[in-house]
Every structure is written in structure tokens, then in C-alpha cells.
Amino acid sequence: MGRIVAAFWNSCAGLSYALRTERAVRQEAILLAVSVPLAFLVGYGHWQRLLLIGMVVLVISAELLNTCIEKLCDHVTPQLHPQIKAVKDMGSAGVFCVQALAGIVWLLALVERFGWF
């Protein structure tokens, strides 16, 4: 049980550090704060609301992992290197894919709720 508690506090410390130092994480945290009440207006039930909120949490998770990759790459070599650039670009592409999926899910929920299109 002690390891679970320690892991929880380590996760809190990591999230706190990311919120203090990473603009993208702060922006996505604001988006999460807005999306939670919005999900209750847009979503048609518990599962749809969970999906809408979960998609934003997934975006933040992907951003945190990408930030880890970028910080590790910068630690390994602060100089510009084509392979390090490729690794960073792939991490960024992963975040973009999750953001696109989240946008599609939210768009479909809005269309379903308000009958647009």
C-alpha cells in the first residue's frame, strides 16, 4: 500500500511541475476545467459525458508524455540533432492525433445534441 501512496504523490508532483513549467499543459488544464461542466450540457448520459471528459484527460496525458520525451531528449543532447528532432516530432504527432480524436468526439457530440448539419 505504501508504494501506491508514494506513486500517487509522485504523480501529483509531476503534474504540479508540468502545470508550473509547461504552457501547453496549463492550456489543456484550462480546457479540462471548461469541458467538465460543458460535458454535462452536451452529453446525453453518463457514458457520453465520461467519454467527453476522458478525451480531454487523454489529451493532457499525451501532452505529459510528449513533454517527458522532449525533456529527456534535451537532457541527452542540447544540440540540434536530426534524430532527436525526429523523435520530438513523432511525440508531437502523437499529441496531435489524440487532439484530433478529441476534437472529432466533441464535434460529434455537439452535432448530436444540437442537430447541426
Please report the domains of the chain, with CATH numbers, ordered by start residue: 23-114 (1.10.287.3610)
Q: For the chain, give the mean pLDDT.
A: 95
Indicate the DSSP class of residue 69.
H
Grid cell in block for residue 47: 457514458
pLDDT at 117: 63
pLDDT in tens, 73-93: 999 988 889 999 999 999 999
What pTM does this model have?
Answer: 0.91
∠97-35-62 over CA atoms, to 5°?
30
**Cβ neighbourhood burial of 23 (10 Å; 0-12, 13-18, 19+):** exposed
